[in-house]
């Protein structure tokens, strides 16, 4: 006697695993990926050239195992919120999905982050800390 799933309970076909793209790869026929800028628990960020617009952008690729409808909805909300420009918030241009990859095209901010600044300079002066705090508060209030 062999086991069979109940009618209507067949397992969904397995998706082929999707790998993260490599530098030099072209996404959506227009974004030429450059170097990896960073990564974390949810994705990888690349520098890129948007060949359609002729400008440098950042591309944040969501890790393939995290791509599901709730992720798409959350990112759509992020795109809408980020379209309200603010000098202390990185602009998000659009949400894209192609070849099994979900990614954001974003403003490319040149320069380092706070971690790099602290590593390079050590402890910041009080006036620098206050200035950074004000910028952060303005971004959060936006």
Confidence of residue 4 (pLDDT cuts 50, 70, 90): very low
- Name the one residue in this structure whose structure tokens are 């990185």: 90
Residues 26 and 89 in one domain: yes
Q: What is the mean pLDDT of residues 131-142?
A: 83
8 Å CB contact between 92 and 80: no
d(CA 54, CA 36): 20
Residues 78 and 91 in one domain: yes
Please indicate, yes or no, if residue 4 is contained in any of the structural domains.
no
pLDDT above 70 covers a percentage of the chain that reads: 87
Q: Which helix (H) or strand (E) element contains residue 31?
A: strand 31-39
Looking at the fold, whether 82 and 52 belong to one and the same domain comes out as yes
Q: Are residues 104 and 118 in the same domain?
A: no
pTM, entire model: 0.74
Predicted confidence at residue 7, as pLDDT, reads 55
The helix/strand count (H/E) of the chain reads as 3, 6
Q: Domain span at residue 57?
A: 20-110
**Is-contact 43 27, C-beta < 8 A?**
no
Inter-residue contact 46 to 34 (CB < 8 Å): yes
Exposed/middle/buried for 134, CB within 10 Å: 0-12, 13-18, 19+?
A: exposed
Is the predicted pLDDT of residue 5 greater than 60, yes or no? no
Can you tell me the distance from the alpha carbon of 19 to that of 34, in angstroms, rounded to the nearest whole number? 17
Q: Are residues 140 and 103 in the same domain?
A: no
* Domain tally, the chain: 2
pLDDT (tens digit per residue) in 42-91: 889 999 999 999 999 999 999 878 888 888 888 888 888 777 777 877 88
Is 77 in the same domain as 102? yes
pLDDT digits (tens, 9 = 90+) for 85-107: 778 778 889 889 888 898 999 99
Nearest CA among 131, 31, 108, 93 for reference residue 139: 131
> Is 52 inside a domain boundary?
yes
12 in a structural domain: no
Q: What is the CATH number of the domain that holds 25?
A: 3.30.200.20
Structure confidence at residue 15 (pLDDT): 52
Q: pLDDT band at residue 1, thresholds of 50, 70 and 90?
A: very low
Return the pLDDT at 33.
Answer: 98
Alpha-carbon distances, residue 79 vs 4, 6, 38, 92 (angstroms): 44, 42, 20, 6
Considering the domain architecture, whether residues 60 and 103 belong to the same structural domain is answered as yes
């Amino acid at each position: 006697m062999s086991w069979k799933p109940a009618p209507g309970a067949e397992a969904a076909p397995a998706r082929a695993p999707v790998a993260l793209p490599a530098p030099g790869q072209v996404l959506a026929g227009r974004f030429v990926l450059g170097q990896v800028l960073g990564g974390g628990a949810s994705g990888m960020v690349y520098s890129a050239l948007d060949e359609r617009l002729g400008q440098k952008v950042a591309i944040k690729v969501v890790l393939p195992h995290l791509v599901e409808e709730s992720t798409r909805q959350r990112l759509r909300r992020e795109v809408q919120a980020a379209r309200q420009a603010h000098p202390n918030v990185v602009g998000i241009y659009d949400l894209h999905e192609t070849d099994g990859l979900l990614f954001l095209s974003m403003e490319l901010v040149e320069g380092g982050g706070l971690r790099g600044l602290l590593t390079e300079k050590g402890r910041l002066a009080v006036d620098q800390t206050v200035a950074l705090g004000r910028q952060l508060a303005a971004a959060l209030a936006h």
